[in-house]
Structure 1
Amino acid sequence: MSTLSPWTRRDPFAEFDQIVRRAFGPTVRTSGFTPAAEIDRDGDDAVVRLELPGLDVAKDVVVEIERAHLIVRGERRDERAEAKDGRTLREVRYGGFRRSFALPAHVTSEAITAEYDAGILTIKVAGAYAGAAAKRIEIASTPDTPALEA
């Protein structure tokens, strides 16, 4: 016979976060989580996908270019924080996040589009790989150069 009983499980990162705040002061912001990301090449375009399930992207996510970097930042809010009575198993991370991806110098904000569907934020960077192929430079030899002997 088994009995199902509620238990209390603490957030394993809460104690570490408190130590960091005590050591470095309240100005240090610890990250709530880091969303998983993948980058694919589609011709000359780069496609960045981030897993952001359960977020209201219109309210809680920002995509921007800053100093030749694509920045995706936001926050997963715990709407039920006040309703907790101490009997919680918590494996979902809440809080702020920030991801940064280097961009080629020629990419402007007009080349970037973003859409959100089924928990995946897809960002397309048009032309990110344009002109990225290596180009071999031929080395010319002059007839006046003496041959080296071994």
Structure 2
Amino acid sequence: MNEMFKRPSFDLRRSPFEMMEPLRRMFEGEMDASSIRVEELVDGNTLIVRAELPGIDPEQDVDISVAEEHLHIHAQRRERKEERGKDRYRSEFRYGSFSRSIQLPKGVRNDDISATYRDGVLEVRAPLPPQTEQEPVRRIHITRE
């Protein structure tokens, strides 16, 4: 009998989640390879930007810069993952660059921006400039001609 029909083309000892891993990487990998997930919030007079960067060495793999009212975050990942089992060995390497640019409010001083890294999260703080008084909203009347 043909060998193809005797043995399945995939290992039945693998869990369904393991078999879905290549599909997950195909759909999520492209987005993860070029973008950094961030959240932005204002706490009092400070803009806080938090960026997910797990497994990154912030001193070697992260570059933060400010230019033309934009905060630029650039990171590189060099990760190696190994799994050893009774009957198998799996090694996966993951390399890539990530970047994200966030527009800053007008008047933010570059010298006042600070950054910290803790538990896989980069936090950038930018004190906001004092708000100037804005003119009240004025409704404009439309005339027919």
Give TM-score, length-normalised by structure 2. Answer: 0.63
* Residue identity opposite 2:38 in structure 1: A
Larger helix percent: 2
8 Å contact from structure 1 (residues 33, 94) kept in 2: no
4+ runs deviating over 2 angstroms = 3-11, 78-81, 85-88, 132-135
SS of residue matched to 2:33: coil
Matched residues in 1 for 2:94 and 2:67: separation? 26
Q: Which has the higher strand share?
A: 2
Taking the aligned partners of 1:41 and 1:12, their CA distance within structure 2 comes to 35
Q: Which residue of 1 aligns with 2:26?
A: 12
The equivalent residue for 1:25 is none
**2:131 corresponds to 1:117:** no
Q: Which 5+ residue runs of structure 2 have no aligned equivalent? A: 1-11, 83-87
Q: Kindly indicate whether the alpha-carbon contact (under 8 Å) linking 1:111 and 1:127 is maintained by their aligned counterparts in 2.
A: no
Which residue of the partner structure matches residue 64 of structure 1? 65
- The unaligned stretches of length 5 or more in structure 1 are 18-29, 140-147
Give distance in 2, aligned partners of 1:36 and 1:133. Answer: 34
Task: Summarize the Cα distance change of 1:94–1:65 in structure 2 as closer, same or farther, 3 Å threshold.
Answer: same
SS of structure 2 residue aligned to 1:32: helix
Corresponding pairs, count: 119
Root mean square deviation of aligned Cα? 3.8
Percent identical residues: 27
